[in-house]
């Protein structure tokens, strides 16, 4: 263990670095802004590496804890720490930030410093969400992280960006207001503590538990997003620039899912048990209903956005079947989805940068002009449909196994993703990549350049490494997941 405040560094290096990037000012200094942003992103990632190497996988206790009083009067603390549920997301987030900076390197020519700064600040804020152990601190990070993404969509987005940005903002803001009420209630009941860990131990009668659960459900369910509060996501993705989509899919969606694990399950376990059928039903609807909807999308980004919702359905399903395979599978699925959906959006971005269209119908025969790209895209499309040896398989496999253990028919419905996921991924791939060159625009396409090759190759490595050897990922989760499940099984009534 080290005394260096690693979590604070992971939060504040990107935020302060982002402000520095912002200070480079106008686009005359764009090259400087890019280099600086890249350096900050790399530095932000480097400080997260000791979080893994120094992580003690044998304990479920919080590690790398930092605790400073912030608002003594209300007992609000700057309280940070990670356990097996959160540590991987801090690292993933810092990692994805590097890719996002790379992805925006040439594409963004307008307001470069502001663009890069927005992503860096967002990255720091999201690290704050994953490591905050104080309710108010969590809420501040949770809300503040909305703003950079809102700006990214609203400024660098597509034609309909304002509608999408406002829809995104309102949806998520409304959800989190209910969460604030729940947090205040817990503060009262706990006799004046905002510590999430204290709340875990707080006995509560069933009625308030249910209400708190529902408040959290709205806040986190919108973020995940769960059916039926998911419709902001496809719009947000379609309008967002590539980097925005990558962060939104890879990290943004994980915030809500993480909230369930950190708040809903341990704070109100009885309500979670009672409402599990509801959660399972909503999750299965997400998997199946959204799978069908994804199938018929004409816009590639919408298709991948819907496929994200469907994959996140697996995550919430895994949480609420309350067995280790389910919860760990859900966590694995979250990490994998970070790689795979990020890669899918980057691939679509590569095409969009060249053709300025996301319509599947505008493509066809891309493999003829972009064979290297086609190979990468194939790998990621296969990972998206859960092919073994890719990361996409691991989580789905675990959740399906966990679900069958819980109830065969739930596993049955969930396993349909095997067919649906392959159908929408491969049908899109077929129409975009295979076939004869469809038009002169496709004929003029140039294959990926070195920078694009680099970020796709890095993600390809991650997808394969996690698919072939998930052991290091699941190893850090066991203690925390087992403790969580043990905790959830004990009634608070």
Partner 1 sequence: MTDMQTLYLLVPLAPLAGAILAGLFGKQIGRAGSHIVTILGVAVAFVASVVIYQDVGAGNTFNGTVYTWMVSGGISFEVGFLIDSLTVMMMLVVTFVSLMVHIYTIGYMSEDPGYQRFFSYISLFTFSMLMLVMSNNFLQLFFGWEAVGLVSYLLIGFWYERPTAIYANMKAFLVNRVGDFGFLLGIGLIAAYTGSLNYAEVFAQADQLAATEMAGTGWPLITAICICLFIGAMGKSAQVPLHVWLPDSMEGPTPISALIHAATMVTAGIFMVARMSPLFELSDGALSFVLVIGATTALFMGFLGIVQNDIKRVVAYSTLSQLGYMTVALGVSAYSAAVFHLMTHAFFKALLFLGAGSVIIGMHHDQDMRNMGGLRKYMPITWITSLLGSLALIGFPLFSGFYSKDSIIEAVHASTIPGAGYALFCVLLGVFVTAFYSFRMYFLVFHGEERFGKAHHAHDAHHGDAHGDDHAHDDHGDHHHGLAPGQKPHESPWVVTLPLVLLAIPSVLIGFFTIEPMLFGEWFKGVIFVGDNHVGLKELEASFHGPVAMAIHGLQTAPFWLAIGGVALSWFFYMKRPDIPAAIQRTFKPIHSLLENKYFFDRFNEIFFAGGARALGKGLWKAGDQGLIDGVAVNGSARLVGWIAQMSRLFQTGHLYQYAFMMIIGVFILLTYWINRG
The region, left, alpha or beta by phi > 0 then psi within -120 to 50, assigned to residue 322 is left
Tell me if residue 363 falls in helix, strand or coil. coil
Q: How many CB atoms lie within 10 A of CB 361?
A: 11
Q: State how far Cα 401 lies from the chain centre.
A: 23
Q: Is 43 a binder of partner 1 (CB under 8 A)?
A: no
Q: How far is the CB of 410 from partner 1 (least distance, A)?
A: 10
Residue 284 makes CB contacts below 8 A (sequence gap 6+) with 313, 317, 410, 413, 414
Question: Which 463-482 positions form the footprint of partner 1 (CB under 8 A)?
Answer: 468-471, 474-475, 478
Q: How far is the CB of 454 from partner 1 (least distance, A)?
A: 16
Cβ proximity to partner 1, 127 vs 310, nearer residue:
310
Cβ proximity to partner 1, 67 vs 422, nearer residue:
422
Stretch touching partner 1 by CB under 8 A, among 6-14, 241-249, 253-261, 317-325: 317-325
Question: Which 152-211 positions form the footprint of partner 1 (CB under 8 A)?
Answer: 154, 166-167, 169-171, 173
Q: How far is the CB of 288 from partner 1 (least distance, A)?
A: 9
Q: Is 260 a binder of partner 1 (CB under 8 A)?
A: no
The pair phi, psi for residue 107, each rounded to 5°, is: -70, -40
Contact 463, 392 (CB under 8 A): yes
Q: Which of 26, 68, 109, 407 binds partner 1 (CB under 8 A)?
A: 407
Q: Which of 157, 241, 392, 402 binds partner 1 (CB under 8 A)?
A: 402
Q: How many CB atoms lie within 10 A of CB 295?
A: 16
Q: How far is the CB of 196 from partner 1 (least distance, A)?
A: 19
Stretch touching partner 1 by CB under 8 A, among 7-15, 98-106, 257-265, 363-371: 363-371
Q: How far is the CB of 151 from partner 1 (least distance, A)?
A: 6
Q: Which of 415, 438, 465, 479 binds partner 1 (CB under 8 A)?
A: 415
Structure tokens at 78: 């700057």
Q: Which of 10, 253, 275, 293 binds partner 1 (CB under 8 A)?
A: 293
Residue 198 makes CB contacts below 8 A (sequence gap 6+) with 190
The pair phi, psi for residue 483, each rounded to 5°, is: -65, -40
Stretch touching partner 1 by CB under 8 A, among 10-18, 149-157, 184-192, 334-342: 149-157
**Contacts for 375-380: CB closer than 8 Å, 24+ residues apart:** 376/343, 376/347, 376/448, 376/456, 376/457, 376/460, 377/347, 377/429, 377/432, 377/433, 378/429, 378/433, 379/460, 379/463, 379/464, 380/340, 380/343, 380/344, 380/347, 380/459, 380/460, 380/463
- Give the contact letters, 114-143, x = binds to partner 1 (CB under 8 A), - = no: --------------------------x--x
Question: Could you give the CA distance from residue 312 to residue 329 in angstroms, rounded to a whole number?
Answer: 12
Q: How far is the CB of 188 from partner 1 (least distance, A)?
A: 16
Stretch touching partner 1 by CB under 8 A, among 83-91, 198-206, 355-363, 406-414: 406-414
Q: Is 151 a binder of partner 1 (CB under 8 A)?
A: yes
Question: Which 270-289 positions form the footprint of partner 1 (CB under 8 A)?
Answer: 289
Q: How far is the CB of 261 from partner 1 (least distance, A)?
A: 16
Q: How far is the CB of 388 from partner 1 (least distance, A)?
A: 4
Structure tokens at 441: 């625009």
**Cα distances (Å, whole numbers) of residue 1 to 84, 87, 131:** 16, 15, 17
Question: Could you give the CA distance from residue 459 to residue 424 in angstroms, rounded to a whole number?
Answer: 21
Cα-Cα end-to-end distance for the chain: 38
Q: How many CB atoms lie within 10 A of CB 163?
A: 12
Q: How far is the CB of 216 from partner 1 (least distance, A)?
A: 20
Cis peptide before 160 (omega within 30 of 0): no
| Secondary structure of 209-274 in HEC code, one letter for each residue | HHHHHHHHHHHHHHHCCCCCCCCHHHHHHHHCCHHHHHHHHHHHHHHHHHHHHHHHHHHCHHHHHH
Q: Which residues pair with 80 in a beta bridge?
A: 66, 132
Q: Which of 397, 459, 460, 463 binds partner 1 (CB under 8 A)?
A: 397
Q: How far is the CB of 403 from partner 1 (least distance, A)?
A: 8
Cβ proximity to partner 1, 45 vs 473, nearer residue:
473
Cβ proximity to partner 1, 274 vs 368, nearer residue:
368
- Give the contact letters, 63-82, x = binds to partner 1 (CB under 8 A), - = no: --------xxxx--------
Q: Which of 35, 65, 422, 438 binds partner 1 (CB under 8 A)?
A: 422
Question: Which 200-259 positions form the footprint of partner 1 (CB under 8 A)?
Answer: 228, 231-232
Q: How far is the CB of 204 from partner 1 (least distance, A)?
A: 26
Residues 380, 385, 390, CA angle at the centre, nearest 5°?
55
Q: Which of 33, 101, 132, 146 binds partner 1 (CB under 8 A)?
A: 146
Q: Is 296 a binder of partner 1 (CB under 8 A)?
A: yes
Q: How far is the CB of 6 from partner 1 (least distance, A)?
A: 25
Cβ proximity to partner 1, 209 vs 308, nearer residue:
308
């Amino acid at each position: 263990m080290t005394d260096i405040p690693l979590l604070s560094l992971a939060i504040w290096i990107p935020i302060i670095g982002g402000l520095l990037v912002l200070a480079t000012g106008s686009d005359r200094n764009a090259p400087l802004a890019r280099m600086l942003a890249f350096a900050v992103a790399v530095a932000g990632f480097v400080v997260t590496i000791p979080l893994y190497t120094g992580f003690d996988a044998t304990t479920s206790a919080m590690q790398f804890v930092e605790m400073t009083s912030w608002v003594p009067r209300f007992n609000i603390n700057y309280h940070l720490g990670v356990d097996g549920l959160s540590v991987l997301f801090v690292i993933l987030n810092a990692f994805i930030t590097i890719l996002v900076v790379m992805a925006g390197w040439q594409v963004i020519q307008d307001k470069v410093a502001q663009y890069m700064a927005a992503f860096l600040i967002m990255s720091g804020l999201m690290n704050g969400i994953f490591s905050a152990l104080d309710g108010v601190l969590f809420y501040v990070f949770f809300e503040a992280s909305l703003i950079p993404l809102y700006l990214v969509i609203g400024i660098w987005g597509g034609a309909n960006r304002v509608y999408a940005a406002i829809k995104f903002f309102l949806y998520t803001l409304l959800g989190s207001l209910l969460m604030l009420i729940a947090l205040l209630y817990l503060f009262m009941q706990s006799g004046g503590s905002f510590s999430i860990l204290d709340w875990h131990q707080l006995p509560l009668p069933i009625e308030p538990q249910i209400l708190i659960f529902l408040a959290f459900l709205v806040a986190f369910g919108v973020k995940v997003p769960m059916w039926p509060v998911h419709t902001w996501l496809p719009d947000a993705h379609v309008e967002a620039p590539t980097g925005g989509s990558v962060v939104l899919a890879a990290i943004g969606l994980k915030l809500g899912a993480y909230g369930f694990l950190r708040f809903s399950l341990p704070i109100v376990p009885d309500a979670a048990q009672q409402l599990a059928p509801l959660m399972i039903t909503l999750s299965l609807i997400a998997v199946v209903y959204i799978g069908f909807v994804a199938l018929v999308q004409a816009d590639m980004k919408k298709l991948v956005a819907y496929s994200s919702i469907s994959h996140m359905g697996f995550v919430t399903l895994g949480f609420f079947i309350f067995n280790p395979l389910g919860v760990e599978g859900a966590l694995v699925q979250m990490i994998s989805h970070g790689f795979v959906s990020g890669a899918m959006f980057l691939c679509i971005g590569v095409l969009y940068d060249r053709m300025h269209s996301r319509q599947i119908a505008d493509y066809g025969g891309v493999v003829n002009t972009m064979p290297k790209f086609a190979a990468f895209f194939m790998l990621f499309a296969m990972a998206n449909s859960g092919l073994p040896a890719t990361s996409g398989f691991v989580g789905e496999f675990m959740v399906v196994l966990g679900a069958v253990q819980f109830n065969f028919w739930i596993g049955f419905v969930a396993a349909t993703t095997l067919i649906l996921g392959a159908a929408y991924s491969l049908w899109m791939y077929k129409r975009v990549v295979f076939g004869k060159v469809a038009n002169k625009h496709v004929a003029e396409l140039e294959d990926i350049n070195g920078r694009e090759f680099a970020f796709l190759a890095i993600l390809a490595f991650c997808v394969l490494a996690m698919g072939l050897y998930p052991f290091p990922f699941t190893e850090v989760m066991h203690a925390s997941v087992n403790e969580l499940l043990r905790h959830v099984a004990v009634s608070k009534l």
